[in-house]
Structure 1
Amino acid sequence: MLRFFVRRVLIGLGILLVSSLLMYLMVDLTIDPLEDLRTSTAPNKELMIEQRIEQLHLNDPVIQRYFVWLGHFVTGDLGTAWTTNRPVTEILSSAIVSTLQLVTAATVLAIVLGIGVGIVSALRQYSSFDYLITFISFLLYSLPSFWVAVLLKQWAAIGYNDFLADPVIALPVMIGIAVLFGLLWSLALGGPPRSRLINGGAAAGVTFVVLLYIQLTDWWSTPNVGPVLLAVTSLGIALGVTTLSTGLKNRRSLLTALTVAALGVALYVPMQWAFYYLTPMMNWAVVLGLGIVAAVVGGVIGALYRGPDWRQSVRTGALTAVPVAGLIFVDRVMQVWPLYASANAIGGRPIPTIGDRTPNLGGNFWVVTLDQYTHLILPTISLMLISFAGYTRYARGSMLEVMGQDYIRTARAKGLTERTVIMRHGFRNSLIPMATIVPIDIITLIGGAIITENIFGRPGMGQMFLRHLDGNDIEPVMAYLLIVAFLAIVANIVADLIYAVLDPRIRVEA
């Protein structure tokens, strides 16, 4: 393993060195730092050109300039953007944060939803649900990202902000939404007509009750999770995690998940006091620490139930505790919604269409976090929809291939439950092709979110690249290209290591 890792790192460094030279030469051919001066009408035009040439060493051979730049780069000096006279490290620091926020949110949602829906579609092959998901996937995959972004601006931002002026959903609309959700659940769960009718009716009923609750409590003006929705959602999380982790027949795991969910609901009010006292020192490190504590507590509860295979209970408890704790955190963030929406900088239109933060907003950690969330909604959905379509198709195809293998038939012949066959033998092996796709796709999003960032005006790496390329500034452009190339090499190494983790038959030494 160590020899493989060292070999791949050395090969990657060689590729990075060669690609940096090629990129420097191509960028140098593309840009013209004297473009603005050539068309200038200033009386000292020639003097300004000479000063610019001397400042940027344009009389030196391009190879010499490359090695000078490379020498500075390997020592940690990324140079200075001559157009703004700002260090490139300072420009990158803010751009990388904005891009990582966007890419992380979009990628996590796309992977979770895409793989989940794709696997369900594979298990319901040639059913109405499968045909529906296939149609939606191809439709989303073919949509131009800029067109999706413009539609989201019009309907999800402007339309929703207008809706908040009179947030009322008509009863026929609620019934229609409930029927649609019931139909989707009945198709996804499948089974005989009686089971489909029961599942669809239950899903439609729950959806209608939730919509009615939202309407009667004026949830649109003061959105929150609250104890009621927290209890219902936590119960659903506990049952869902147990079903996927061990199956509902594992009583200790089920009791662990239900106990964790009940504990989360019981701690709702005490956590409000804790958040109140923690507000002055609140930051994302504290949030991460609280998440780790929640996972540990969930695992401890699972360990206390013991049993012959107590590790399954520990895993179920930890996996249940994290999303329940996340709901409590989201609820606390949403509690500042009235204050946020009524701020002068917001003007009663809380869903923004541009930027990554609201200028002159102010406020504590909760207000700033909510502001970041609202700015992330539209670009995240825009990127997620297209990535979701790709992950759905990959997951479906991979799962279909795995479920047709001999070892799946052998597992069923041994009398294993269908859940065990699907989750332990089918799901894990279906992830192997995804190990190549996901790391590369993440890097593609980081380097390719240029259009989305440009439309939504997010000051990320894509915007930085376009702005400095248009300004004929080679230092920030090279920093962007080299970071993307470096991440692409890292993604390939990570994909190989993930292969070895998912499938012990694959040896990285081979």
Structure 2
Amino acid sequence: MLRFLTRRVLAGLAILLVASFLYYLMINAVIDPLEDLRFNTDPDTPQKIAQRISDLRLDESVFVRYLSWLGNFVTGDMGISWPTGQTVTSMLQGAIIATIQLLTMSTILAIFLGVAVGVVSALRQYSSFDYLITFVSFLLFSLPSFWVAVLLKQWGAIGYNDFLRDPVISTAVLIGIGIVAGLVWTLAIGGDVRRRVIVFASGFAATFGVFLYLQLSGWWLTPRIDLGMLVLIGAATALAVTAISTGLRNRRSLGAAFTSVGVGLLFFVLLNYGGGWGALTPSMTWGMLILLGVVSAAIGVGVGYAWGGPDRGQSARTAAIVSVLMAVYIAVDRMMQAWPAYSDALSGRPIATTGNRTPNLGGNFWITALDTYTHLILPTLVLLLVSFASYTRYSRASMLETMNQDYIRTARAKGLNERTVIMRHAFRNTLIPLATIVPVDIITLLGGALITERIFGRPGMGSMFLTGLDMNDINPVMAYLMIVAALAIVANIVADLVYTVLDPRIRVNA
């Protein structure tokens, strides 16, 4: 392992060195730092040109300037942006945070939803659901991101903010939403006529009931996950996670999952009705919130092992996942409680169309966190829709190939149930091709975020890159390109390591 990492890191450094030289030559050829002065008619323009040539060392050879830049870069000095006088390092600090926030949410959601839908589509090959997902995937993949961004600005922000003035959905629309949801679930699950009718009726009733409850309770203006709603969501989570993780026939695993739900409900009551959040809020930070998530996972593991049995590990895994999700629900509920105050501070128009935060917005941790996520909603959706289409197609193709392998037929011949065949044998091998695609795609999103960040006015890496090009400033552009190149190399190394986790037959030193 150490030899492999050493060899790959050294090769990566060599690639970075060559790439940096080519980058510097190409950027130097396309930018003109004197562009704004060439047609200036001020009397002191020649002096300004001479001064800028001296400051930027434009009278020296490009090779000499590259070597000087490389020496500074190796020591951690990425130079200064000459139009603003700001160091590139300080510019990167805010830009990287803004980009990571955007890519983290969009990538996690795209992978989870895309892989799940792609696997279901493969299992329902040539069904109406499969054809529908194929059509939607190709449609989303072909849509230009800037056009989707404009539509989301109009209907996802301006339209929703207008809706909040009088948040009433007509009965006809509610029925239409229920019918669409029932049809989607029917196509996804399939079965005989009786099963399809039951699934459609259940999907329609559940969707119609949820939206009707949201409307009658005034949820759109005062959103919350109250105790009753958390009980239903927690029970559904326990059933779903257990069904996927071990199967509902594993009673110990199912019991551990519901025990984790009970522990989560206990903490919910203590935090909301025992004054817990009031004591934690003044000192709450993102680090503390992550720590609480780790503690919840540890509690779930303990619950799983407490249930005992020969498969304690499976029960612990299931209970830990349920416990973490319950913690997420509780944190989201606390953040939702800040919604009325946040909406009032923004004159009843809380969904933002530009920027990454509201200027001069006061409030506690939950207000600022809510502000961050309202600014992330639209750009996240843009990147999510494009990535979702890709992951759906990749996972579908990989699952179809895996399901036709001999070892799948052998597993079925041994009498294993279909859930075990799919989750333990097929799904893990389906992820192997995705191990190459996902790390590299994350780096590719940095390039795709150029357009998204510019449209939504987010001060991220893409905006810094485009601003550097517009202002003929080489240092920020080089910093962006070098970071992207380094991350691309790291992504390929990570992909090789993930191979060994998914497939024990693969050795990194082979």
Task: Give the structure 2 partner of residue 370 of structure 1.
Answer: 370
Task: Give the structure 2 partner of residue 406 of structure 1.
Answer: 406
Q: Contact conserved, 1:4 with 1:509, CA < 8 A, in 2?
A: yes
Task: Give the structure 2 partner of residue 476 of structure 1.
Answer: 476
Task: Give the structure 1 partner of residue 106 of structure 2.
Answer: 106
CA distance in 1 between partners of 2:266 and 2:135 (Å): 43
Letter in 2 for 1:368: T
Letter in 1 for 2:18: V
The equivalences for 1:191-206 within 5 A come to: 191-206=191-206
Match of 1:337 among 305, 328, 339: 339
CA distance in 1 between partners of 2:296 and 2:278 (Å): 18
Task: Give the structure 2 partner of residue 190 of structure 1.
Answer: 190
User: 1:248-307 CA deviation, whole Å, 9 max, x = no partner?
Assistant: 000000001111112212321212322211112111100000000010101101110000
Letter in 1 for 2:244: L
CA distance in 1 between partners of 2:332 and 2:383 (Å): 22
Task: Give the structure 2 partner of residue 139 of structure 1.
Answer: 139
CA distance in 2 between partners of 1:220 and 1:188 (Å): 29
Match of 1:287 among 264, 285, 289: 289
Task: Give the structure 2 partner of residue 315 of structure 1.
Answer: 317
Task: Give the structure 1 partner of residue 167 of structure 2.
Answer: 167
Task: Give the structure 1 partner of residue 244 of structure 2.
Answer: 244
| 1:448, distance to aligned residue in structure 2 (A) | 2.5
Letter in 2 for 1:247: G
| 1:223, distance to aligned residue in structure 2 (A) | 1.2
Q: Which runs of 5+ in 1 are unaligned?
A: none
Does residue 12 of structure 1 match 2:40? no
Give the 3-state SS of the residue equivalent to 2:83 in structure 1.
coil
The equivalences for 1:94-133 within 5 A come to: 94-133=94-133
Letter in 2 for 1:24: Y
CA distance in 1 between partners of 2:156 and 2:447 (Å): 26
User: 1:166-218 CA deviation, whole Å, 9 max, x = no partner?
Assistant: 10011111111111111111111111111111122112111111111111100
Q: Contact conserved, 1:100 with 1:446, CA < 8 A, in 2?
A: no
The equivalences for 1:344-363 within 5 A come to: 346-363=346-363
| 1:486, distance to aligned residue in structure 2 (A) | 0.3
CA distance in 1 between partners of 2:472 and 2:378 (Å): 31
CA distance in 2 between partners of 1:227 and 1:148 (Å): 37
Give the 3-state SS of the residue equivalent to 1:267 in structure 2.
helix
Matched residue count: 508
Letter in 1 for 2:148: V
Letter in 1 for 2:282: P
User: 1:386-413 CA deviation, whole Å, 9 max, x = no partner?
Assistant: 1000000000000000000000000000
CA distance in 2 between partners of 1:432 and 1:152 (Å): 34
CA distance in 2 between partners of 1:155 and 1:119 (Å): 31
Q: Contact conserved, 1:124 with 1:188, CA < 8 A, in 2?
A: yes
Task: Give the structure 2 partner of residue 259 of structure 1.
Answer: 259
CA distance in 2 between partners of 1:71 and 1:422 (Å): 53
CA distance in 2 between partners of 1:271 and 1:196 (Å): 42
Letter in 2 for 1:275: W
User: 1:95-119 CA deviation, whole Å, 9 max, x = no partner?
Assistant: 0100100000000000000000000
CA distance in 1 between partners of 2:225 and 2:390 (Å): 31
User: 1:335-371 CA deviation, whole Å, 9 max, x = no partner?
Assistant: 011100011xx12111110001011111111000000
CA distance in 1 between partners of 2:8 and 2:364 (Å): 45
CA distance in 2 between partners of 1:349 and 1:269 (Å): 31
User: 1:207-240 CA deviation, whole Å, 9 max, x = no partner?
Assistant: 1111111111000111111112211111111111
CA distance in 2 between partners of 1:478 and 1:380 (Å): 26
Does residue 300 of structure 1 match 2:307? no
| Identical columns (%) | 62
Give the 3-state SS of the residue equivalent to 2:140 in structure 1.
helix
Letter in 2 for 1:193: V
Task: Give the structure 1 partner of residue 500 of structure 2.
Answer: 500
Letter in 2 for 1:186: T
The equivalences for 1:82-97 within 5 A come to: 82-97=82-97
Question: TM-score, normalization: structure 2?
Answer: 0.99
Question: TM-score, normalization: structure 1?
Answer: 0.99
